[in-house]
Structure 1
């Protein structure tokens, strides 16, 4: 008797897999956790193991998700890198590298919206305005991610 398909939210992150980022027909199983405590998954179609944070600013970070959220909150409050270093006891290079990764992720999200979804720069700006007005309804993680992207949407 065949085992039932998994019902987790993960999709294959291997671009060479025929089920790359596809929900229908996926066959993903849990494969333990990595050193940072993030869930690992195995795609049964291509036998590639990937982490749940792949494609996010949390990917390959040794800091805990809680610490990264705290850094993001401090940066959103317009604190400087050295101020964040002092308040959270994290080295300034770590804060700077995280800020660079967040900016790259935000730029790729904005480029995706402008180029792949064919939104104009005005539509992207309207999206950020809408999100800002409705931020009380969003989760903290979503709000931190979107706050980091806002300034870059005007460049597109």
Structure 2
């Protein structure tokens, strides 16, 4: 699922530098497009802290040799209860690479859960119930809400 370069919107990005006063603030007017990296990913520049970052920073897709489509396929195969070796055979990628993607997914899922518990004040039971509800009702949501949810589950903002 390669993004079209014209889709990358500075207003949808936020500074990924935790030391920046505008860290985590979308549409603060501080982010501008800043060319592309060697893999064609859109780069951005924060005018506040004067640092550059790529559009996939802080996502499971960041700094990966696999394409976004391949990572998404690993996710789909995991959901279908395939093991690491089965995914290796199906996709023709080394099991260490598959394991690395799974570790990245787990890390992002833990970060979302930690955020909901520490910053929002939910209990672990409430977070579990929320994800169960979301999973059951995802198809009933508007297309844009499903898209945002998919991005959040992938670790993107």
| TM interval, short-chain normalised | 0.7 to 0.9
CA drift of 1:122 comes to 1.9
If the length of structure 2 is used for normalisation, what is the TM-score? 0.80
Residues in 2 aligned to 1:141 and 1:32: alpha-carbon distance in whole angstroms: 28
Residues in 2 aligned to 1:70 and 1:140: alpha-carbon distance in whole angstroms: 19
Q: Aligned match of 1:61 in 55, 64, 71?
A: 64
Whose radius of gyration is greater, 1 or 2?
1
CA drift of 1:24 comes to 5.2
Residues in 1 aligned to 2:11 and 2:119: alpha-carbon distance in whole angstroms: 27
Residues in 1 aligned to 2:105 and 2:114: alpha-carbon distance in whole angstroms: 14
Q: Deviations over 1:43-78 (max 9, x none)?
A: 112210011111111111121111110111111110
Asked whether the 8 Å contact 2:31–2:47 carries over to 1, the reply is: yes
Which residue is equivalent to 1:152?
none
Residues in 2 aligned to 1:144 and 1:79: alpha-carbon distance in whole angstroms: 23
Q: Aligned match of 1:38 in 26, 31, 41?
A: 41
Q: Aligned match of 2:75 in 62, 72, 75?
A: 72
Asked whether the 8 Å contact 2:15–2:23 carries over to 1, the reply is: yes
1:145 and 2:153 aligned = yes
Residues in 2 aligned to 1:49 and 1:119: alpha-carbon distance in whole angstroms: 34
If the length of structure 1 is used for normalisation, what is the TM-score? 0.80
RMSD: 2.4
> Structure 2, unaligned stretches of length 5 or more?
1-8
Asked whether the 8 Å contact 2:11–2:29 carries over to 1, the reply is: no
Residues in 1 aligned to 2:27 and 2:132: alpha-carbon distance in whole angstroms: 34
Residues in 1 aligned to 2:54 and 2:27: alpha-carbon distance in whole angstroms: 20
Shift in alpha-carbon separation, 1:25–1:144, aligned structure 2, 3 A: closer
Asked whether the 8 Å contact 1:69–1:141 carries over to 2, the reply is: no
Residues in 2 aligned to 1:75 and 1:106: alpha-carbon distance in whole angstroms: 14
> Structure 1, unaligned stretches of length 5 or more?
1-5, 149-156
1:132 and 2:131 aligned = no
Asked whether the 8 Å contact 2:11–2:26 carries over to 1, the reply is: no
